[in-house]
């Protein structure tokens, strides 16, 4: 039954990812990120999460921009993961959630 639904989509070249939720962006403020190795540690931890698509740390501003699928993870999980890696974080005020 499911195949009957999928076949017309495949014939039209429409993938199921077309129906996925749009990516969200969160900017984490990570004040403890002070040395050149800190961003690598935070980035590695966050990239292990399901749904995280991109992680861009900025040592100069002590922030980390995370692009993620909100159907697979949340900002609460991002914050917990950063803290578990040894770098407590908050969502940057005024940043796009």
Residue matched to tokens 């980390």? 64
Say how many residues make up the chain. Answer: 97
pTM of the predicted model as reported, rounded to 2 decimal places? 0.76
The CATH number covering residue 23 comes to 3.30.70.100
Q: What is the largest CA-CA distance in the chain?
A: 55
Q: How many domains does the chain have?
A: 1
pLDDT of residue 20: 62
Q: Can you tell me the distance from the alpha carbon of 32 to that of 39, in angstroms, rounded to the nearest whole number?
A: 10
Please give the Cα distance from 42 to 27 (Å, whole number).
13
pLDDT, tens digit, 9 for 90 and up, residues 58-80: 999 999 999 999 999 999 999 99
Structural domain of 58: 19-91
Quick one: which of 56, 95, 55, 51 has its CA closest to 77?
51
Per the domain annotation, does 63 fall within a domain?
yes
**pLDDT given at position 84:** 98
At residue 50 the predicted structure's pLDDT band, cuts being 50, 70 and 90, is very high
Average pLDDT estimate for 28-32: 97
Residue 62 within a domain: yes
Rounded mean pLDDT of the chain? 85
CA dist., res. 70 & res. 96, Å (int):
14
């Amino acid at each position: 039954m499911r195949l009957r639904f999928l076949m017309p989509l495949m014939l039209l070249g429409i993938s199921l990812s077309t129906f996925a939720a749009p990516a969200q962006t969160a900017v984490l403020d990570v004040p403890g990120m002070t040395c050149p190795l800190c961003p690598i540690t935070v980035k590695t931890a966050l990239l292990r999460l399901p749904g995280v698509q991109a992680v861009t740390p900025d040592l100069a501003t002590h922030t980390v921009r995370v692009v993620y699928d909100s159907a697979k993870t949340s900002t609460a999980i991002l914050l917990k993961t950063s803290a578990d890696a040894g770098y407590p974080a908050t969502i940057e005020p005024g940043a796009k959630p």
